[in-house]
Amino acid sequence: MAGLAESGSNPDVDLLYDINGLAKAAPHWFDRVMEFTGEYGLLLAILGLVLWCWWGVRRRGGEDAAPAVAALAWAPLAAGIAVLVNVPIRGFVERPRPFKDHQGLEVLVDGKNDFSFVSDHATLVMAMAVALFVARRKFGVVAIVLAVLGGFCRVYMGVHYPTDVVGGFALGTAVALLLSPVAMALLTPLCRAVERSPRVGWLISARGRAGAGGRGAVIPGARTEREAAGAGERDLAA
């Protein structure tokens, strides 16, 4: 894989120079925005979408709350597992960063001395986005668009080849989809157990206990035993 990057006639390298060349022509402030966006911004935005969906699910509650939260919990877990899977891949391929083999690149981030293929950032954002798509289609589409933008930013910043990003997208998608059935089989019972807990049940459903008529539930029109006894004594005295 590293050998492919040594030839300037390689379409992968040509596209790298075309995209990274935009950074040279852009104003300094815009490069700083792209740097933050590619390093942190888009990952935080996708995580924010997952949390937004979770907040909506727990507010609605209902019987489907536990499996819905389980599906959303799989999104960050899938991202973490995908990055772990990438560790041996990067060590096996050992592809240097593009700026180490090619001159004239505008590198926006310092300290990137590890291997290039597969992109951890691309793997993270796409795994989370695809898992969110499985859980909530509308939000997932937005997340996938953000993930693609994140991959573009990595090439723009001069720290990855386009194929590093494509490989990350493929790896993140594969992990999120292939392991989803196993994850749901494990996470759904766990979320149901959490939902039944009096202390942390709010993580799954904000009104699950009241809706189930639990110990703390208040039923309109119902009287306590003391109120009923007092009413009976008043009736006898009359």
Tokens of 90: 């990067």
Strand positions, DSSP E, 68-174: none
Alpha-carbon gap, residue 225 to 223, rounded angstroms = 7
Measured CA distances, 236 to 167, 229, 231 (Å) = 83, 11, 9
* Beta carbons of 104 and 82 less than 8 angstroms apart: no
Contact 153, 42 (CB under 8 A): yes
Q: Who contacts 65 (Cβ-Cβ below 8 Å, separation ≥6)?
A: 57, 58, 195, 204, 205, 208
pLDDT reported for residue 215: 39
Residues 17-46 pLDDT 10s = 999 889 888 899 998 999 999 889 999 999
pLDDT bucket at 7, cuts 50 / 70 / 90: very low
Place of tokens 């939260």: 69
**pLDDT (mean) for 182-210:** 84
Q: Which residue has the higher pLDDT, 194 or 210?
A: 194
**Maximum Cα interatomic distance, the chain, rounded to a whole number of Å:** 104
Burial class (CB in 10 A: 0-12, 13-18, 19+), 21: middle
The second-level CATH assignment, the architecture, of 2-203 is Up-down Bundle (1.20)
Residue 231's pLDDT is what? 47
What pLDDT is recorded for position 89?
92
Per-residue pLDDT band at 79 (split at 50, 70, 90):
very high
Q: Map out the domains of the chain as residue ranges.
A: 2-203, 208-237
Q: Which two tokens stand for residue 76?
A: 């960050």
pLDDT digits (tens, 9 = 90+) for 91-145: 898 889 888 888 888 888 887 888 889 999 999 999 999 999 999 999 999 999 9
* Residue 199: both structure tokens together: 């202390």
Structure tokens at 231: 């009413």
Whether the bond between 194 and the residue before it is cis, its omega within 30 degrees of 0, is no
Tokens encoding 125:
């954002």
